[in-house]
Structure 1
């Protein structure tokens, strides 16, 4: 199943590259058909200043129109097959530069999660074609000038959503936006972030039985009972790929094996050396808990296509407020 009215076509490698500025310019051109003010905008200049200057009190509305015109999400098919993309990673930008300027990216937290600054997520859709209702984006691939944005920064409890292994890479939560637009979504409760939440709600649907415990738990954390969110469908999505799912499952199993027995599974290509060495210092109990959770999730993903129901519930992702 693809987006209603969406198109797919073949492009050469040179034609596929789509920078964030390219996407913005395409949006300016499309939106200027109904509002000539968009034709005055230049993707290479400060967007915030231009919007205030050109749109005045309507700048916020223009931001929402541009977000919807450029945002790229994963597909619903991807959500049904692999709802959490990198369950072993949480977001902790502080680890990028620790005290004294030392590089701490990847150092595991106390529960064994890889401490990411969004780099692991940002790279995920490279090589994935876009499916869209706009022929100018069909078959293109995001390159430079894009930022992976999270629809929820904080939960109702005040906890940081992306510090949970279950939520940091939960498919409905992550959306790719041109970098010059991304900062508008940084404020919790802002209209721009509200639009990302509405697009996230478009993913709500039935999923194979083995994945229900993970999906239900994620949504219960994001949308407390009694809170209503109206869905808005994204116009552009990354094309579903079974090969992508297989690669992600393999990486999840490799991380689980490393956590289970670090000395035996020091694969130099797995994540980075700070993480591989860091897990050696974790207690066996914490390592084994996360390893079991990751293995249970990988097994559920593999079982999903046949809707096989496993006995009992998959273990929850432990630690890191997850």
Structure 2
């Protein structure tokens, strides 16, 4: 039977494991506040000219161990999972009249990430034998993060029905780390490079023309495509 994984618990467990040898991990908040703690540390290190400081290395370790990605085998078959959905936070009750799931004028379902975050919950997590997630499935305490929020052409990824649920644009991480992916450009760049290496070149024959179109919106032609990830792909976890 698969273990039910709680992202917040797994984050605290990983920080406890690292604390024996890493004072930055030992001092880190175990839940709310850790994203601000890491952001402040990274920015301070970078302002001092240190691009490989202890706060950045801890951030890298946590994302390496605690992120969950879609498997490229699934991407080859169904790169966009719910092309009838777009992100529209205004559909929820705290933004106006409750209208989640109601169609826009053009027919697309208005979602607030609710559909996206539940897509992999029934799936096992595939990882190395000694990985913290082995024999588990995501249960709670994770956030589905969009890797490309703002597009180079000025568009917003969440409002494009082909990009909103594009597998290569999504990663699940423990919820307390969520704002790192939303607001820190270095973390966004790390995940974008990792996604390109995982997914580009793994398209299925019937989907290649479409995925080329999407990648050209995410990474415009002329941008470097030969990228070296800082994360070890062999040690990542996948749905």
- Structure 2: segments with no counterpart, 5+ residues: 46-52
Aligned partners of 1:84, 1:46: CA distance in 2, in Å? Answer: 33
Q: Which among 7, 11, 14 is matched to residue 24 of structure 1? A: 11
Equivalent residue for 1:127? 122
Aligned partners of 1:89, 1:228: CA distance in 2, in Å? Answer: 30
Contact map agreement 2:153 2:217 (CA 8 A) in 1? no
Contact map agreement 1:167 1:218 (CA 8 A) in 2? yes
TM norm structure 2: 0.83
Aligned partners of 2:33, 2:40: CA distance in 1, in Å? Answer: 11
Equivalent residue for 1:71? 67
Alignment of 1:196 onto 2:196: no
Aligned partners of 1:98, 1:52: CA distance in 2, in Å? Answer: 28
Structure with larger Rg? 1
Alignment of 1:47 onto 2:21: no
Number of aligned pairs? 223
Q: 1:115 to 1:210 in 2, by over 3 A?
A: same
Q: 1:161 to 1:49 in 2, by over 3 A?
A: closer
More moved, 30-39 vs 103-112: 30-39
SS in 1 for 2:126: strand
Equivalent residue for 1:213? 209
- Structure 1: segments with no counterpart, 5+ residues: 1-11, 239-322
TM norm structure 1: 0.63
Counterparts of residues 240-255 of structure 1 (less than 5 Å) = none
Q: 1:87 to 1:50 in 2, by over 3 A?
A: same
Alignment of 1:38 onto 2:25: yes
Q: 1:210 to 1:52 in 2, by over 3 A?
A: closer
Q: 1:104 to 1:175 in 2, by over 3 A?
A: same
Equivalent residue for 2:87? 91
